[in-house]
Amino acid sequence: MQLIMLAPLVFLPLLRRPKLGLTLLLALLLLLGPLGTLAPYLISGRPTFLELTSHTSLTSMYAAYHQYTSSTGQYITSLLIGLLSGYLLVEKRRNGGWAALSGKTALQVLLSILSLVVIGLVFAWNNTFWVFNENFSTTSALAWYVSSKFLFTGAVACLTYIAAIASTGE
């Protein structure tokens, strides 16, 4: 199923009643995002593909890799954060400017640096899972899966938002 087909269901409440729409979007993001990410673990108890010693065969590891990286549920968080940031970009533009960040170059630079640091930290955290002969907990791997989607996508959305503000010159 293509998740983008659900975008009208997200945007309809945003356009008709913005406060209710934002509340629903944030609720969906905070509830469905982690559930979609953790679905392979919650439904089948399958260990993540990062837990190499927990798999009995290469087929089991490949199935875990597929379920944790390319199944539809893994993209719910990214889709909702992307829709939210796109909506905020359009809404700020339509309402006459970027009041929160416009003219605040120092704040824009600080947020850009913070976003880049967050992206680096997500990659650094991932690198801790690839230490030879090192065991780590399932909780740690699942925490990385859930939080990395929020952190990485949120950082990219913040960079996009700041770039859009800078490009308009407002």
> Average of pLDDT values for 71-79?
83
Rounded Cα–Cα distance for residues 103 and 87 (Å):
21
User: Token pair for residue 107?
Assistant: 């704040």
A 10 A CB-CB count for 144 gives: 19
| pLDDT value at 170 more than 60 | no
Token digits for 14?
A: 């945003």
Between the alpha carbon of residue 86 and those of residues 41, 90, 168, the distances in Å are 31, 6, 15
Number of structural domains the chain divides into: 1
User: For 81-102, what is each residue's pLDDT tens digit?
Assistant: 888 888 877 777 677 655 555 5
Phi and psi, residue 95, nearest 5°: -90, 15
DSSP for 104-133 reads -HHHHHHHHHHHHHHHHHHHHHHHGGG-TT
The dihedral built from the CA positions of residue 142, 148, 153 and 154, taken in this order, carries a sign that is positive
Q: What confidence score (pLDDT) does residue 168 get?
A: 66
50-67 pLDDT per residue, tens = 777 777 888 888 888 888
Whole-angstrom Cα distance, residue 54 to residue 160?
39
Count of alpha carbons within 13 Å of 139, Cβ hemisphere only?
0
H/E segment holding residue 54: none
**Sign of the C-alpha dihedral computed for residues 75, 52, 147 and 43 taken in this order:** positive
Q: Whole domain around residue 23: which residue ranges?
A: 3-168
Using CA atoms, how far apart are residues 166 and 170, in angstroms rounded to an integer? 7
